[in-house]
Amino acid sequence: MAHNDASETQALFDALADPDCRDILRVLDEPLPAKAVAAACDLPQTSTYRKLEQLSEADLVAEETDVRADGHHATAYVRDCGGVFVGVDEDGAFDVDVLPADERPSDRLALLWSRVSEEL
């Protein structure tokens, strides 16, 4: 997903600059409820929810709903990116692409090559 709007780009940079957000991204290699994220990152639950919202707004984390037969559905969070490419265009504006978590290395190489070929 491309982040070319200045406010979206700033939200992404803010999330990546936050050490707690980076810790959360590290532990979310599988879906976890907020309580488990808080415990794994040694954060208060209120801070964890705030950071998860920040990461979600930056398109780095996704929410999944575990539908249960008893009607008590649970929300889990999962890392929704495999990397971030940041470029600077000819006008000096940032061109940011968040790579999907399920993207293959060949997809990343194709994106990188397309960026290089644009410069040629």
3-state secondary structure of 96: strand
Q: What is the pTM of this model?
A: 0.74
Q: How far apart are CA 84 and CA 100, in angstroms?
A: 9
Mean pLDDT across the chain, nearest whole number?
Answer: 83
Q: Each residue of 44-95: pLDDT tens digit?
A: 999 999 999 999 999 899 998 877 778 777 889 999 888 787 878 788 777 7
Write down the domain spans for the chain.
Answer: 2-119
Q: How far apart are CA 81 and CA 103, in angstroms?
A: 8
Please give the distance of CA 111 from its chain centroid, rounded to a whole number.
18
Q: What percent of the chain has pLDDT over 70?
A: 82
CATH number of 2-119: 1.10.10.10
